């Protein structure tokens, strides 16, 4: 039986940076240790966090081998897995990639949504059930103030879902 193609357009990564504003330091203060108002200045970042989406998560096309439920997973490293009625993921599928820029050496918290509701051009909806990244448990900006990470996800399919689907992945990053 020939499979019928099912197209998933790219999922745009909408990057939102949550930052702590830099605080100006008063160089006329006689002793920073004595002045409790200035003691927390060391924990304030000097640079705001910036995010650049370098690649969008894109499942390309999913090939359905028949009716019924199925799933497709595209990992941060590009690894692909299909189950059930999904027989293949298109060759041009690509994991999302984001570059974070900020204060060198700072730890950051990266928050990805649990799921994404995607809208089809013909009015249907699909759900990206899970999203995960390769950022690790305690991501930290390098000595150059950058950190690049990739993310992937899993889609569960049931019923007739032919069409193009798009959605936004809201990524929140803040300093720890």
For 26-36, the pLDDT digits (tens) are 333 444 444 44
* Per-residue burial over 31-58, b = 16 or more CB atoms within 10 Å of its CB, e = otherwise: eeeeeeeeeeeeeebeeebebebeebbb
Q: Which of 127, 108, 110, 109 is nearest to 118 (CA)?
A: 127
Q: What is the pLDDT of residue 169?
A: 92
Query: Is residue 144 included in any domain, yes or no?
Result: yes
Query: Is residue 128 included in any domain, yes or no?
Result: yes
Q: Which are the contacts of 62, defined by CB distance < 8 A and separation ≥ 6?
A: 5, 6, 7, 8, 72, 82, 86, 88, 89, 90, 155, 157
Query: Is residue 46 included in any domain, yes or no?
Result: no
Query: Is residue 100 included in any domain, yes or no?
Result: yes
For residue 20, pLDDT beyond 70: no
* Separation CA 8–CA 20 (nearest Å): 37
For residue 123, pLDDT beyond 70: yes
Helix (H, G, I), strand (E, B) or coil at 43: helix
Query: Is residue 116 included in any domain, yes or no?
Result: yes
Query: Is residue 27 included in any domain, yes or no?
Result: no
- Count of CB atoms situated within 10 Å of the CB of 1: 6
Percent of the chain with pLDDT over 70: 74
pLDDT band at 150 (very low <50, low <70, confident <90, very high): very high
Mean pLDDT score, 106-120 = 94
Which tops the pLDDT comparison, 100 or 68?
A: 100
For residue 1, pLDDT beyond 70: no
Residue 64 near residue 157, CB atoms below 8 Å? yes
Domain of 72 in residue numbering reads as: 4-19+65-175
Query: Is residue 25 included in any domain, yes or no?
Result: no
Residue 20 near residue 173, CB atoms below 8 Å? no
Q: What is the pLDDT of residue 111?
A: 96
Query: Is residue 98 included in any domain, yes or no?
Result: yes
Residue 9: phi, psi to the nearest 5?
-75, 170
Specify the number of domains making up the chain.
1
Question: % helix / strand / coil in the chain, to the nearest 5?
Answer: 5, 50, 50
pLDDT band at 125 (very low <50, low <70, confident <90, very high): confident
């Amino acid at each position: 039986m020939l499979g019928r193609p099912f197209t998933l357009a790219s999922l745009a990564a909408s990057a939102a940076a949550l930052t702590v504003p830099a605080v100006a330091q008063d160089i006329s203060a006689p002793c920073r240790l004595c002045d409790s108002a200035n003691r927390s200045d060391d924990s304030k970042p000097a640079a705001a966090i910036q995010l650049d989406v370098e690649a969008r998560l894109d499942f390309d096309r999913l090939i359905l081998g028949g009716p019924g439920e199925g799933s497709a997973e595209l990992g941060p490293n590009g690894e692909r897995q299909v189950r059930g009625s999904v027989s293949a993921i298109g060759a041009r599928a690509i994991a999302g990639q984001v570059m974070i820029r900020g204060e060198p050496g700072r730890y950051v918290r990266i928050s990805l949504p649990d799921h994404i509701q995607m809208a089809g051009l013909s009015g249907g909806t699909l759900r990206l059930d899970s999203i995960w990244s390769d950022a690790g448990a305690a991501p930290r900006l390098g000595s150059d103030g950058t950190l690049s990470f990739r993310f992937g996800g899993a889609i569960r399919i049931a019923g007739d879902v032919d069409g193009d689907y798009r959605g936004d992945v809201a990524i929140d990053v803040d300093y720890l």
